[in-house]
Amino acid sequence: MKADYVIVGAGSAGCAMAYRLAEAGKDVLVIEHGGSDAGPFIQMPAALSYPMNMKTYDWGFRTQPEPHLGNRTLATPRGKVIGGSSSINGMVYVRGHARDFDTWARMGAAGWSYADVLPYYKRMEHWHAGIHGGDPDWRGKDGPLHVTRGPRRNPLVKAFVEAGKQAGYPTTDDYNGQQQEGFGPFDATIYLGRRWSAANAYLRPAQKTGRCRVIRAFARRVVIADGRATGVEVTRRGVTEIIHAGVEVIIAASAINSPKLLMLSGIGPAAHLADHGIPVVADRPGVGRNLQDHLELYLQQAATQPVTLFTYWKLFWKVLIGAQWLFGKRGLGTSNQFESAGFVRSRAGVEYPDIQFHFLPLAIRYDGKVAAEGHGFQAHVGPMRSPSRGSVTLASADPQAAPLIRFNYMSDPQDWEDFRTCIRLTREIFAQEAFAPFRGHEIQPGDAVQSDAELDAFIREHAESAYHPCGTCRMGAADDPLAVVDPQCRVIGVDGLRVADSSIFPQITNGNLNAPSIMVGEKAADHILGRDPLPAANTAPWIHPDWRTQQR
């Protein structure tokens, strides 16, 4: 078993790299532990709550008890399937704010400013501008990744944007274009009624070239000889074997599994490796550190009119919606139902948005259980740039053992202030005139929860991960002792080895992480191929002119 390039992980970044390398004539082999992504649970957008709760498709990771959240252990889903987490996510497409990438560059990721990454976003996108409007000059027109918008027929979806406007915020026709700040329609990786995962966009076209093979196997460690990665040790059909890499090994196994694999291979904090009896190949203390995520709450409001999706929660409607999707790729099954978004600043003096809203015309939990009250709607809300940092460490030198995941959520006092602000701003939006025809009582947290102490208790009990882990193999300057990869995604201290996925983010980006993860794969492919990067863009993002003195 040998290829020029061996990629560990058929997820968002791995699929993008496989496609670009195969397109360039390279021999590529992708190792994926998970199985097929066929079937309606993954491919039907409205079924999104199922795959992330199914052992077949999810690694099943959980955090260690989180001390600032009442010692709760939180689910940390990661895709264990072709397409990785792009096959089990909510299909929401957010590039991140321009300033996120300018911050990366300032943190040592030279060549990753917004001007540098915007051309890669354009290269990967096929934006259906003719149907959806938006900002076509800022979007890609013929990339592999189809990006669309839902039909937005539900009156609550439009009421949310109107309420944001009434509360004094701007509207934006395209938060992925020049202006992220404001309220407007959501983008989604959905095409012709199907989930348009990285597998559908990139991996299948790569396989059709005849130069990309996908092997179902469990990666145990990277094989390193004389300071150079030469292959990957895997378990396949119960047998341990080595898949050899003629040129490079590329790890794209997620912000949880990428640092784990590095540490099992002898790359990481020397003392931690020694504790587990793993010989040290490269002492990189940053491996597994800098873990970040987005936490969120959902505020739920009862609806006084039967206009919510609760109407369709009966078995009859579920069967009908399933049949419409299965036989015609039409109807409610073709949308993820997240069709309105909001990005706002928490206070004056914040330069660009640090709060995100996902609006849903249904009161429901992530596990698919609807609110007992019946008809309702909700906004998922949370801060974008928490100062809290966590870690991924080894529980054991056994590759089969799950790593120890400690996000250290809410460990900074700023987190609590930001979350209280999130709740109060959401309540203000729901109180606007646009919601008057539909607004009943507040289901969650409930009108009685008002003081800082009451809000903190609610946050402690109900905050959930938005499933956006990143940062554990941080990209930075080659002489930065805490950087794991350099700006070409090369692991510092080991030849022939790269990491390219959300684990290399120096700092978490605004919004959902699937789009920037795919972008990392696109840009990394050019570095791997030794190509000059795409010419930098010279377009400037919109920043609120009075951000220093006004919150909106």
The catalytic residues are 468
For residue 163, the Cα-to-chain-centroid distance in whole angstroms is 27
Tell me if 201 sits within 8 A of 145, measured CB to CB. Answer: yes
Given a contact cutoff of 8 angstroms between Cβ atoms, the answer to whether 176 and 187 are in contact is: yes
Residues in the chain: 552
Name residue 267's amino acid: I
Query: Which tokens hold the place of 357?
Result: 């809203």
For 301, the token pair is 């409001």
- Partner residues linked to 381 by β-bridges: 297, 357
DSSP state of 429: H
Dist CA 84 CA 65 (whole Å): 26
Angle at the Cα of 262 from the Cα atoms of 260 and 268, rounded to 5 degrees: 95
- Is 81 annotated as contributing to ligand binding? yes
91 by DSSP, 3-state: which? Answer: coil
Annotated binding-site residue? 336: no
State which amino acid sits at residue 374. G
The token pair that represents 100 in the structure block: 């996120």
Half-sphere exposure (CA, 13 Å, Cβ side) for 512? Answer: 24
Known binder of ligand: residue 92?
Answer: yes
Residues 353 and 343: beta-carbon distance below 8 Å:
yes
Q: For the chain, report the end-to-end CA distance as a whole number of angstroms.
A: 58
* C-beta separation of 155 from 170 below 8 A: no
CA distance 245 to 440: 61
CA dist 223 to 189, 377, 417, Å?
Answer: 36, 51, 46
Any bridge partners for residue 292, and if so which?
A: 470
Instruction: Show Cβ contacts of residue 482 under 8 Å, excluding neighbours closer than 6 positions.
Output: 285, 286, 289, 290, 474, 476
Q: Binding site membership for FAD: which residues?
A: 81, 89-92
Annotated binding site: 81, 89-92
